[in-house]
Amino acid sequence: MPTNFTVVPVEDGIGENSCRSADSVFREEEKEPLRGHHSGDDCHQESSPFISPDHDRGHFYDGKNMALFEEEMDSNPMVSSLLNKLANYTNLTQGVREHEEAENEDGVRRVTITGSQMGTLIGVYLPCMQNILGVILFLRLTWIVGTAGILGSFAIVFMCCACTMLTAISMSAIATNGVVPAGGSYYMISRSLGPEFGGAVGLCFYLGTTFAGSMYILGTIEILLKYIIPEATVFVAEKKTDEPAVLLNNMRVYGTCCLALMALVVFVGVKYVNKLALVFLSCVVLSIMAIYAGVIRTVIEPPDYPICLLGNRSLKNHGFEKCLKIEVVKNVTHTTKLWSLFCDSEYLNATCDEYFTLNNVTEIQGIPGLLSGVIKDNLWGDYGPAGTFIESRSHSSVPALDNSQDLLNPYIFNDITTFFTLLVGIYFPSVTGIMAGSNRSGDLRDAQRSIPIGTILAIGTTSFIYISCVVLFGACIEGVVLRDKFGDSVKKNLVIGTLAWPSPWVIVIGSFFSCCGAGLQSLTGAPRLLQAIARDGIIPFLQVFGHGKDNGEPTWALLLTAGICEIGILIASLDAVAPILSMFFLMCYLFVNLACAVQTLLRTPNWRPRFKFYHWTLSFLGMSLCLSLMFISSWYYALVAMVIAGCIYKYIEYRGAETEWGDGFRGLSLSAVRYALIRLEEAPPHTKNWRPQLLVLCKLDSDLQVKHPHLLSFTTQLKAGKGLTIVGSVLEGTYMTSGSDAKTGEQNLRTAMSEAHTKGFCHVVVASNLRDGFSLLIQSAGLGGMKHNAVLMAWPAGWKQAQDSYPWKNFIETVRETTSAHQALLVAKNIDHFPGYNERLKEGTIDVWWIVHDGGLLMLLPFLLRQHKVWRKCKMRIFTVAQMDDNSIQMKKDLQMFLYHLRLDAEVEVVEMHDSDISAFTYEKTLVMEQRSQMLKQMQLSRTEREREAQLIHDRNTASHFGMNDKATASTPERVHMTWTKDKLVSERARNRESNIAVKDIFSMKPEWETLNQTNVRRMHTAVKLNEAVVNKSQNSQLVLLNMPGPPKNKEGDENYMEFLEVLMDGLDRVLLVRGGGREVITIYS
């Protein structure tokens, strides 16, 4: 259960407000449980309750000895101050101890807290003894010994006790590794394995404790109706065959009434349960002492409990007094009451049961004694299906041919099918209860000393009791009596009671009150465990159960506990309920061992338990034993328990509150990541393993919000949760001044990623300018082998309207950075028009325009997109360009065969682009582009002068399309004519020793500045013609993927490069420019 630490500062004599009154501290503590959602706040209270407390601010240190550190005193207190607070802190528990309230003379309510004074004996040893020794010992252990035999029972007891002993060793190590507030096993598991495992196992432990309450209540009612007042039944069987069903109905009625009464007692006040705890414990101790006294008495004078056998079958010893068929009284033969039970009349010539006629009756002693040698007969087990007769091995019988009336005769049967694994499941609840000491950790004087000693001693003592009882029961009691579950052969006495001294009623009354006390303890502890889970806030739908009465009593949790407990009572069979709670307890113990093993193997710096007698091999052995016992007891119950725990785990993982408790699995994850990263460094990934590991460059607006959230949605659609995704952004400034903005922006990025269902990492860097920031991200994002191989960014849509050239210059430099780093680049135009995460494209196409080979990335991206539900119904089309010298028909066949080998389904089309004259429109766009470029180079002019110059150029262009800029033409000896004939084109190619420039010049980007104008015109011509073809074929497609040409090596042509790209994408809505990283990313080989 969560525990709130209250720091009571010590008077330093400096300032009158240096410490607060205990009254105010306790009043604040009383309000703490009512705050509602905690969501992991306990972590901070546990880890740093003494660092930079609010009431320390404002302290002044006037001495000169610590002047060097005086500026840090507010956040880092002096060691002397820290030690004073450590020595005087109060660990207030919200557990079983109820706060007693009183009023002072002012009428203000105070909370008086009793100091933690319990030692090892009272606080740990005796509670564990009381919880371990209980209903199974008194009601089922003799039956288990008789059914499994002494050797089988010894194996069962040894396995279960070894399991709990190993778990106790692991629990002791965890419990002594720092302060464990009230909350016991849940606190230890959750803080060791994390909130997911903690919540799942905590709820399983809660369900186990709740069903344990059902088992104890059923045991109480069984003792009441079978051995104390058997005539107090509500339902009476009309037929002998209806007796089992009638018994179950009576158990349900009385069990429900008992549950309501116990829940009322718990609701009224836990202090009444605590006051009765000593009485219940005394009953357990007296009962065990009576058993050992009875065993000793059997050596001197065995008790007289005659057992009547018919043949070798045991008979119910009620309804008749003498174990005789007939008796002679005064030389006259009379039939007995036993005769009447098997015959149709009391006369000697009556028709009797065939088996009764063929076999004689024998009377033997049910408790022959310790020295009788009966131990030899009880060494081995006697399993059988339901309805099997309880028979003596040392007696023989004559079988009857007619067995039709056997069920109506007073034989004793097996009420359930018995086998070894069933007995393990029924017995295991008798060794649970080892957490009782750790659950009281907040009430102990020295928890780190008391919990290991008390728990291990309690397990050792109870293990000795159980093993000795197994041997003593098998050595003192006849086998047919041991297998008689309800004591019908000993006149409806409790079998273990027949061995007790001075009277069987000592055991009956003692076991009755022991079961009552255990049931009350379960109904007290289970709601508080649920309340602790609810207050941690890790499971949202349980938050209502974190509230209760004003004094912290968990009212709503008690109601839910009573409801679940009623389910176990409606099952009505103790033998059926016991395996259920065994599963939940075993799962809890399994994770306690796992927590200890993980912490030990990881060797985390904080793992420093004071209990030194542990080892990770013992923890793994205990974990393996728990898992084995789960499936040995009941494999289907084990699967159900695991499914329940798994569902809770996944629910907490996806919907639960995010908490960080420094759990061991986080350390395990870090170790695994480190190992994997080192392995990834050894060799680059093979082409078959290549997938886009994205670095997404996001922009933040002035409010530090994501400017293009659809970029993250597109990332999710492209990745489908696979591989690495890093979302980065850059803020201008210095980290000293913009550090808080960076954290805010990072949080906003994380929120946007969550809304877009993008799984990955985010990082915001602060740099002197955006250019350096993006360069830093491209160079250093990722770690080791988990580095990005592709960059995704949005097209700078407003680059022409920008007041300065930084947007497009940053963009081009980013393109150059990715090229130099051999990383792929994806540029999305009109990213805000892309579909969101929850949209569905019902039809349409994804068109790929494959101009140059870039390693196959153009082919791979549509395939990855179509794996996502947004693009799943879109078809894939691939276009390639054929020129004058190409065979378009053969190109199409080759491309289809290539796609077939790649296992890609797509339509193929070859677009023919023949050489043609350059149009006036192309020349005009080139001219405007060059003049605008020339204008922007005049950086020494003011903004007003540049605007005036731009207007003059615009007017000049409007007046005549044939004018040329003098500076532009000065460097070129020849002019470019508007109309190009084929002959002129051929001669120009030959003169410049170039080939195949019609389409591919735009992708080669090797300008010769001596012929700048000709090159610009040709490239603009290519962009215009290619754009016409793309718009003609793909204007209505859902997405167009284009090869992205590289930037010019000479930076003087950067603005022209942007213009070429703008023309290339003109008239298209959704465009993804793709530039490969220089390696093959798709292969035809398996």
Residue 120 corresponds to which amino acid? Answer: T
* 150-164, 786-800, 931-945: least confident range: 931-945
What are φ and ψ of residue 607, in 5° steps? -85, 90
Handedness of CA 694, 700, 705, 711 (dihedral sign): negative
* pLDDT at residue number 467: 95
Per-residue pLDDT, averaged over 957-983, amounts to 39
The three-state DSSP-derived secondary structure of 488-536 is HHHCCCCHHHHHCCCCHHHHHHHHHHHHHHHHHHHHHHHHHHHHHHHHH
User: With 90 as the cut, is the pLDDT of residue 662 above it?
Assistant: no
User: Which is higher by pLDDT, 242 or 803?
Assistant: 242
- Considering only CA atoms, which of 1005, 1065, 1031, 1001 is closest in space to residue 799? 1065
Q: Computed over its alpha carbons, how large is the radius of gyration of the chain? A: 43
Q: Higher confidence at residue 679 or residue 598?
A: 598
Least confident interval from 140-149, 163-172, 179-188, 598-607? 179-188
C-alpha closest to that of 391 among 343, 369, 436, 359: 359
pLDDT at residue 1062 in the model: 84
Quick one: tokens of 589?
Answer: 């113990």
Compute, in degrees rounded to 10, the torsion defined by CA atoms 8, 10, 15, 19: 20
How many other CB atoms are there within 10 angstroms of residue 69's CB atom?
A: 11
Average pLDDT over residues 254-266: 93
Q: Which of 429-443, 511-525, 590-604 has the lowest mean pLDDT?
A: 429-443
Question: Can you spell out the DSSP letters for 1031-1072?
Answer: HHHHTTSSEEEEEPPPPPSSGGGHHHHHHHHHHHTTT-SSEE
For residues 125 and 737, what is the distance between their CA atoms, to the nearest angstrom? Answer: 59
Mean pLDDT rounded to a whole number for the chain: 78
As a whole number of angstroms, the distance between CA 1070 and CA 606 comes to: 53
**Tell me, what DSSP letter sits at residue 117?**
-
pLDDT band for position 947 (cuts 50, 70, 90): low
For the ranges 9-23, 295-309, 659-673, which has the lowest average pLDDT? 9-23
The tokens of 454 are what? 């008390």
Q: Give the span between the Cα atoms of 616 and 664, in whole angstroms.
A: 14
Handedness of CA 941, 942, 946, 948 (dihedral sign): negative
Residue 648, class by beta-carbon neighbours within 10 Å (0-12 exposed, 13-18 middle, 19+ buried)?
buried
- Decide if 355 contacts 311 (C-beta within 8 A): yes
Q: Assess whether pLDDT exceeds 70 at residue 870.
A: yes
**What confidence category does residue 39 fall into, taking pLDDT thresholds of 50, 70 and 90?**
very low
Tell me: pLDDT of 625 over 90.
Answer: yes
- Comparison of pLDDT for 627 and 654, the residue scoring more: 627
Of the spans 103-112, 416-425, 1007-1016, which averages the highest pLDDT?
A: 416-425
pLDDT for residue 193: 73
pLDDT at 956 over 70: no
932 against 398, higher pLDDT = 398
Q: What is the pLDDT confidence band of residue 651, given thresholds at 50, 70 and 90?
A: confident
Q: Is the pLDDT of residue 578 over 60?
A: yes
In the DSSP assignment, the letter for residue 225 is I
In this structure, are residues 379 and 390 in contact, taking their beta carbons and an 8 Å threshold?
no
| Paired strand residues for 307 | 364
Mean pLDDT is lowest, of 383-387, 837-841, 955-959, for 955-959
CB burial string 1044-1065: b at 16+ within 10 A, e below: bbbbbeeeebbbbbbbbbbbbb
Is the pTM here over 0.75, yes or no?
no
Distance of CA 154 to the CA centre of its chain: 37
Rounded CA separation 866/862 (Å)? 6
Helix orientation angle between 504-536 and 555-571, rounded to the nearest 10 degrees: 130
pLDDT by residue (tens digit) across 997-1023?
444 444 443 343 334 456 676 777 778
CB distance 611 to 452 below 8 Å:
yes
> Is residue 837 within 8 Å of 717, Cβ to Cβ?
yes
**CA distances, 721 to each of 673, 757, 763, 864, 915 (Å):** 18, 8, 18, 11, 46
Q: Is residue 557 within 8 Å of 33, Cβ to Cβ?
A: no
Report pLDDT for 24: 40
pLDDT above 90 as % of the chain: 26
| Residue 332 β-bridge partners | 329
Using one digit for the tens of pLDDT, what is the confidence trace for 58-75? Answer: 444 445 555 555 555 565
pLDDT of residue 950: 53
**Count of CB atoms situated within 10 Å of the CB of 887:** 11
Q: How many whole angstroms separate alpha carbon 475 and alpha carbon 238?
A: 39
Q: Is residue 471 predicted with pLDDT exceeding 90?
A: yes
- Model confidence over 384-397: pLDDT tens digits? 998 889 999 888 88
pLDDT of residue 375 exceeding 70: yes
Report, as an integer, the average pLDDT of 472-483.
Answer: 93
- Are 716 and 758 within 8 A, CB to CB? yes
Neighbouring residues of 468: CB distance < 8 A, sequence distance ≥ 6:
none
- Is 567 a residue whose pLDDT tops 60? yes
Most confident of the ranges 73-82, 666-675, 1071-1080: 1071-1080
Q: Phi and psi for 879 in degrees, rounded to 5? A: -110, 140
Is the CB of residue 609 less than 8 Å from the CB of residue 176? yes
* Single-letter code of the amino acid located at 518: A
pLDDT band at residue 210 using 50, 70 and 90 as cut-offs: very high
Most confident listed range (269-283, 330-344, 456-470): 456-470
